[in-house]
Amino acid sequence: MLRLSSEDIEQGYALACQTVVESDVSISVPPQEKIERRLTTDRTVAEIEVPEGYDFARSQTVRRLTLMLTPPSMDDQTDDLSRLRIGMRQQADIGEIDISLPLLRKIGAVLREDDWRVTAILESESWDKPARSARLIDLRPGHELLNEPVWGAAIDIGTTTITLWVVDLVTGKVHAQVAEYNGQISRGEDVISRIVFSAKNGGSDQLRSLVLETINALLDRACKRVKITPDQVVKASIAGNSTMMHLLLGIPATSIRLAPFITAVNHLPLLSAHEVGLAINPEGVVDCLPGIASYVGADISAGVFSSGMSNTENLTLFLDVGTNGETVLGSREWLVTCACSAGPAFEGAGVIHGMRATKGAIEEVWVNSDTFEPTFRVIGGVKPRGLCGSGLISLLSEMFITGLVDKGGNINAHLGIPRVREGEHGLEYVIVWGQDSATGEDIVITHVDIDNLLRAKAAIYAGFTILADSVGIPLEAVEQVLIAGSFGKYINVEKAVQIGLLPDMPWERFQFLGNTAIRGAYYALLDKEAREEIRAVASRMTYIELSADNTFYDAFMSALFLPHTDISRFPSVEGVMSKT
Amino acid sequence: MLRLSSEDIEQGYALACQTVVESDVSISVPPQEKIERRLTTDRTVAEIEVPEGYDFARSQTVRRLTLMLTPPSMDDQTDDLSRLRIGMRQQADIGEIDISLPLLRKIGAVLREDDWRVTAILESESWDKPARSARLIDLRPGHELLNEPVWGAAIDIGTTTITLWVVDLVTGKVHAQVAEYNGQISRGEDVISRIVFSAKNGGSDQLRSLVLETINALLDRACKRVKITPDQVVKASIAGNSTMMHLLLGIPATSIRLAPFITAVNHLPLLSAHEVGLAINPEGVVDCLPGIASYVGADISAGVFSSGMSNTENLTLFLDVGTNGETVLGSREWLVTCACSAGPAFEGAGVIHGMRATKGAIEEVWVNSDTFEPTFRVIGGVKPRGLCGSGLISLLSEMFITGLVDKGGNINAHLGIPRVREGEHGLEYVIVWGQDSATGEDIVITHVDIDNLLRAKAAIYAGFTILADSVGIPLEAVEQVLIAGSFGKYINVEKAVQIGLLPDMPWERFQFLGNTAIRGAYYALLDKEAREEIRAVASRMTYIELSADNTFYDAFMSALFLPHTDISRFPSVEGVMSKT
């Protein structure tokens, strides 16, 4: 069951149990930690194509200039900075350059190191304007070749996972993709507990350090792979939800948590790496992408853009299945969004044997409708330790279809099977007996767990209905459902529909896009038009605050059933149920 | 001889030796350190008038806005920054604001502290433009009154002395003037030795810390006087020579010292106080005024402007008598400048009993032409410890006029007086016998000292002639001579002319302006038009590098005599000499 990726196989990895030794071999067993890490990050690695028509010189805000300056003499005592300015004006038609004090400190030495031949890295929003002004990011001795890379990084700061790509801005090609758990997890699983922690004495600084440690370690790992140093990276674009963005920058996030739920800032100015604490070139540009509201952040603006939703004529429902359950409805014409605070149940929290989608997690369950015996698939093919989100959806759906639970989510106590028993938290169903689990303990799902899952899925589904109602369109009119989030990638649609998490519509309308936020950050990193479009998406999205919407409660209560109070909304489930 | 200033007398100080006690009195004796400090700083305190027509709202780059924002609600979830931006646009017609990360971190709390009533301090170069953009310097809860002060600081970083004024930008009034020796003195008396020191390992950081310590201590002292805290100061304008400016900012100054003598930067961008290390408001604007060349810095641009030279039709010679001997010739039409590396002889260095103009320094000498006995005046009226610059000029002139030295500067050994004797360094003249000096040692001037003084004055005078020659104008055509530098203030013109330091012309053409650099910094601090004019002065001044000018050596050699090889250039001295 241990799956090897095509990358693994290329690198010469093989499963010992399935390999025939035909001659003398030398076998290297990778350290366990390495395997686990690869398993974690594999889940986020994606083949990414350079956007069509990408042109470094035309699409980028960053440019590289090679300049040949006249050396000073007794007859020409122009100061170093003016000499550089004059060179830029004459050789690149740049009117004004903005230069920081740290760069002023090194300019004299750099200009003289290779006899007044230098390479400048500049950033500007106004390359196309007649009065060009630019900010100097780096000045290096000598002349770099046209095809030498200029490095950038795209970053997505998820509450759970941080993803970082290292990109050559010249070609647009992604050279490394890495991911790791957000170091802040140790201080709280979800955004609310992080905000609470940040308000404690020193909490904000601690959270800031933790996220920076994770990012900088990722940067280091990715740069090692590409054989560069982190300070060669001159630009970074960052996506992430609003809380992650505030915590990264040390901006108090308290108002996000308290009514009326206001962020300090949605559209951040361009920052320098040294201000942010990012270990790229200290003068490197850090572009934090714009968010929409407290619970619909830059990850969603970036995701909506990269999913193509903001540029399609088809009515689209965009869903990031995660703690916040951000949902967007619309098309190129209009966009409306809400966040339904699903809670972290589908990420394994609030469920007694819930866990993240790593090795040992049950990711799919089948229940025999006669014997109620389960079979399951475990990530990594090892003994199970618990259930991840997709496993929980799968389990709940199977339990419902087989009658192990009723439409109210109550476990059927009258089946007379040992797997259903009275536990500490009321009735529970045993999926794995202790002798077969990694921990030696029984793996169960309790009545309380099921209640939590119902509340989570009800919140998400209620979000859909509120959005649809707000624009007076029936949910069935939705032409495509885009599911974002690396978690979303592993959901079994049929089962998600069966529990009423996803609306009931033909499967071909669903698309699983994986991490749309990092793709959006990547596009924003490369292309100033993409960046502008993400800004426009963030600005034109209408945010509906559900806690201020008094129809939300009704929608939520109606969705607290399997699949829904109004079964007619789920004709396919109705069909399945009538067969059983 | 101890002089009390009118300020002293107002404060109740009296000279015990000259005061009659008429009834019971309570006498406080100020600690000695306090007296010395007052004596030092007194020498730089000046009555300064607010420039005519100064108008905070029209002349300043800094503005204060009071804003009343609509509080957020469930129906208006605009983020804090956008709310502030909207307020500024609607209430003050400001299109874009630039806001730093540290301010973003406090905006949420400040907006809420006094119920969305805030006072913003902004800085902009473009208040007059239709598309106004501004940088936010500070945001404070509540509404400040229109006449409440907004604080600024004008700073002049001299190689020897640093002067700082605290100014209310609303009225333009100077509220405190303080001065102190530049803490860098311990690492070298002149700019060259500082540059050499800065190139040593850690030297640059040390010099930067030392000058910042002095400035920040001055700021603290001045703010205490005004009863404010340093972080209430939101803008600083800084004058200083090019080396001082580089060292302040940690920009390598090495190229200033080595041919072809290039600065890293003459026109500095606006900086933030936290970048510079200035202890005013961390986001406060630091405006380092522009210099012209390695040895003609911002102190001269500011000085030329504040002296009125750049705006007069009269042909003017501007002279900063100091180590560098910066000289400017011209008027509103044109300006030509040079620095003649006079060396620090007139500041008391390179002269065996030279000292700075502090307590115990002989500042004026008279020599009896029959007995060759000297009388003198000592700063502070105490026993003498040495001679300061004005004392040296005075002494040299008296020695020359009385025949104690000849026109070549050689001491006359044939007078048969005990005050002329053979010392360690050749012939010397005793000004004070050990029993009358503060140190118990004889105070003398040696042949070597006189040579050093001759070289210093020859360099300065040669500078005048080179400038005049470069524009083909005779020196006699100069209509006014402006002498800058607090040292200049104490020179006796007659005696300075007699030794050939100053050109021979009617005394009414000389004006002593004191510290013109700090005045220039003050004008620049207040008025954006003054600031622009200083920029223009720096840009249009033609710099002549004397070491590249092969006529300089001849001019210097000719000036190595008392008063000059060509006595016809000094008709008044010729007259005096013919009488003796």
The larger pLDDT score, comparing residue B141 to residue A127, is at B141
Interchain CB distance below 8 Å, B107 and A250:
no
Q: Is B369 in CB contact (< 8 Å) with chain A?
A: no
Interchain CB distance below 8 Å, A262 and B82:
no
What's CA B477's distance to the chain center, in Å? 28
* Beta carbons of B246 and B159 less than 8 angstroms apart: no
Of all residues in chain A, the one with the smallest CA distance to B107 is A264
| pLDDT 10s digits, B17-41 | 556 666 666 655 444 433 344 344 4
Residues B449, B451, B454, B456, CA torsion sign: negative
Closest by CA position to B488, among listed B509, B511, B462, B514:
B514
- Chain A residues 541-570 with a CB less than 8 Å from chain B: 543, 545, 547-548
CA distance B252 to B207: 11
In this prediction, residue A347 carries a pLDDT of 73
Q: Following DSSP, what letter does each residue of A404-415 receive, concatenated? A: SB-TT--B-TTS
CA distance A236 to A286: 5
Most A CBs within 10 Å: which of B265, B286, B535, as the mutation test of the A interface?
B265
Report chain B's mean pLDDT, rounded to a whole number. 91
Closest by CA position to B149, among listed B252, B62, B221:
B62
Of all residues in chain A, the one with the smallest CA distance to B246 is A105
The larger pLDDT score, comparing residue B488 to residue B334, is at B334
Q: Is the preceding omega at residue B260 within 30 degrees of 0, hence cis?
A: yes
- Chain B residues 525-544 with a CB less than 8 Å from chain A: 543
* Beta carbons of A348 and A490 less than 8 angstroms apart: no
Range with lowest mean pLDDT among A120-134, A237-251, B182-196, B430-444: A120-134
- b/e sequence A304-341, b meaning 16+ C-beta within 10 Å: bbbbbbbebeebbbbbbbbbbbbbbbbbeeebbbbbbb
- Using the structure block, give the residue that is written with the tokens 């607010």: B50
Closest by CA position to B103, among listed A153, A523, A249:
A249
pTM of the model: 0.88
The larger pLDDT score, comparing residue A46 to residue B440, is at B440
Q: Taking CB atoms and an 8 Å cutoff, what residues of chain A touch B104?
A: 249, 251, 264-265, 268
Most B CBs within 10 Å: which of A69, A70, A73, A77, as the mutation test of the B interface?
A77
Kindly report the nearest CA distance between residue A35 and chain B, in angstroms. 40
Q: Taking CB atoms and an 8 Å cutoff, what residues of chain B touch A252?
A: 105, 108-109
Q: Is A257 in CB contact (< 8 Å) with chain B?
A: no
Kindly report the nearest CA distance between residue B477 and chain A, in angstroms. 28
Q: What angle do CA A188, A194, A195 make, to 5 degrees?
A: 155
Q: What are phi and psi of B326, to 5 degrees?
A: -70, 135
The 3-state DSSP class for residue A459 equals helix
CA distance A280 to A273: 6
Query: Which helix (H) or strand (E) covers residue A337, if one does?
Result: strand A335-339
As a whole number, mean pLDDT of residues B416-440 equals 95
Q: Is B435 in CB contact (< 8 Å) with chain A?
A: no
The 3-state DSSP class for residue A518 equals helix
- Using the structure block, give the residue that is written with the tokens 């030329």: B304
Kindly report the nearest CA distance between residue B452 and chain A, in angstroms. 27
In this prediction, residue A28 carries a pLDDT of 55
What is the set of domains in chain B, with CATH numbers? 6-38 (no CATH), 56-141 (3.10.20.880), 151-288 (3.30.420.480), 335-344+454-579 (no CATH), 345-448 (no CATH)
Among A73, A263, A548, select the one facing B79 at the smallest CB separation. Answer: A263
Q: Is A205 in CB contact (< 8 Å) with chain B?
A: no
Interchain CB distance below 8 Å, A271 and B101:
yes
Among A77, A251, A262, select the one facing B260 at the smallest CB separation. Answer: A77
For the packed helices B528-540 and B298-306, what is the interaxial angle rounded to 10 degrees? 120
Among A75, A251, A254, select the one facing B104 at the smallest CB separation. Answer: A251
Closest by CA position to B359, among listed B454, B438, B277:
B438
pLDDT band for position B128 (cuts 50, 70, 90): confident
Query: Which helix (H) or strand (E) covers residue B134, if one does?
Result: strand B133-141
Interchain CB distance below 8 Å, B252 and A74:
no
Q: Taking CB atoms and an 8 Å cutoff, what residues of chain B touch A78?
A: 262
- The tokens describing B555, both together, are 């001019």
Q: Is A92 in CB contact (< 8 Å) with chain B?
A: no
Interchain CB distance below 8 Å, A254 and B294:
no
Q: Is B18 in CB contact (< 8 Å) with chain A?
A: no
- The tokens describing A419, both together, are 């797997």
Q: Which residues of chain A have pLDDT under 70?
A: 1-46, 486-489, 580
Kindly report the nearest CA distance between residue B73 and chain A, in angstroms. 5
Per-residue H/E/C for A164-188? EEEEECCCCCEEEEEEEECHHHHHC
Kindly report the nearest CA distance between residue A91 and chain B, in angstroms. 20
What's CA A290's distance to the chain center, in Å? 15
- Using the structure block, give the residue that is written with the tokens 């790229």: A280
Q: Is A271 in CB contact (< 8 Å) with chain B?
A: yes
Sheet of A233-240, strands arranged across? A174-181, A161-168, A151-157, A233-240, A285-288, A271-272
Q: How many CB atoms lie within 10 A of CB B511?
A: 15
Helix segments in B286-411, DSSP class H: 298-306, 389-401
Interchain CB distance below 8 Å, B545 and A81:
no
Of all residues in chain B, the one with the smallest CA distance to A546 is B74
Per-residue H/E/C for A203-247? HHHHHHHHHHHHHHHHHHHHHHHHCCCHHHEEEEEEEECHHHHHH
Q: Taking CB atoms and an 8 Å cutoff, what residues of chain B touch A548?
A: 74-75
CA distances to B157, B163, B264 from B292, in Å: 16, 21, 12
- The tokens describing B425, both together, are 């360094």
| pLDDT 10s digits, B525-546 | 999 999 999 999 999 999 999 8
CA distance A361 to A487: 13
Q: Taking CB atoms and an 8 Å cutoff, what residues of chain B touch A81?
A: 264-267
CA distance A374 to A14: 30
Q: Is B131 in CB contact (< 8 Å) with chain A?
A: no
Establish how many alpha carbons lie within 13 A of residue B432's alpha carbon, considering only the half-sphere containing its beta carbon: 25
In this prediction, residue A350 carries a pLDDT of 81
- Using the structure block, give the residue that is written with the tokens 């007259």: B575
- Chain A residues 37-76 with a CB less than 8 Å from chain B: 72-76
Of all residues in chain B, the one with the smallest CA distance to A548 is B74
Q: How many CB pairs under 8 A join A and B?
A: 128
Q: Is A107 in CB contact (< 8 Å) with chain B?
A: yes
Q: Taking CB atoms and an 8 Å cutoff, what residues of chain A touch B543?
A: 77
Of all residues in chain B, the one with the smallest CA distance to A263 is B79
Establish how many alpha carbons lie within 13 A of residue B556's alpha carbon, considering only the half-sphere containing its beta carbon: 15
Closest by CA position to A541, among listed A325, A342, A318:
A318
Among A76, A79, A268, select the one facing B265 at the smallest CB separation. Answer: A79
CA distance A128 to B483: 51
Most A CBs within 10 Å: which of B78, B101, B238, as the mutation test of the A interface?
B101
Q: Taking CB atoms and an 8 Å cutoff, what residues of chain B touch A109?
A: 252
Query: Which helix (H) or strand (E) covers residue B362, if one does?
Result: strand B361-367
For the packed helices A80-92 and A101-113, what is the interaxial angle rounded to 10 degrees? 80
CA distance A289 to A306: 13
The 3-state DSSP class for residue B406 equals coil
* Beta carbons of B335 and B542 less than 8 angstroms apart: yes
Among A259, A264, A547, select the one facing B81 at the smallest CB separation. Answer: A264
Q: Is A266 in CB contact (< 8 Å) with chain B?
A: yes
- b/e sequence A568-577, b meaning 16+ C-beta within 10 Å: ebbeebeebb
ipTM: 0.88
* Beta carbons of A169 and A287 less than 8 angstroms apart: no
In this prediction, residue B199 carries a pLDDT of 96
Among B76, B98, B265, select the one facing A80 at the smallest CB separation. Answer: B265
CA distance A251 to B4: 55
Kindly report the nearest CA distance between residue A98 and chain B, in angstroms. 8
| pLDDT 10s digits, A510-562 | 999 989 999 999 999 999 999 999 999 999 999 999 888 889 999 999 999 99
